[in-house]
Amino acid sequence: QVTLRESGPALVKPTQTLTLTCTFSGFSLSTSGMCVSWIRQPPGKALEWLALIDWDDDKYYSTSLKTRLTISKDTSKNQVVLTMTNMDPVDTATYYCARMASGSGRSNNFDYWGQGTLVTVSS
Contact footprint for another protein (CB under 8 A): 37, 46-49, 52, 60, 62-63, 96, 98, 107-111, 113-116
State the Cα–Cα distance between residues 92 and 123, nearest whole angstrom: 12
| Torsion, CA 54, CA 34, CA 51, CA 85, rounded to 10 | -70
Nearest to 104 by CA among 10, 32, 41, 52: 32
Residue nearer to another protein on the CB measure, 15 or 31 = 31
Residue nearer to another protein on the CB measure, 48 or 83 = 48
Residue nearer to another protein on the CB measure, 16 or 94 = 94
**CB of 116 vs another protein, minimal distance in Å:** 6
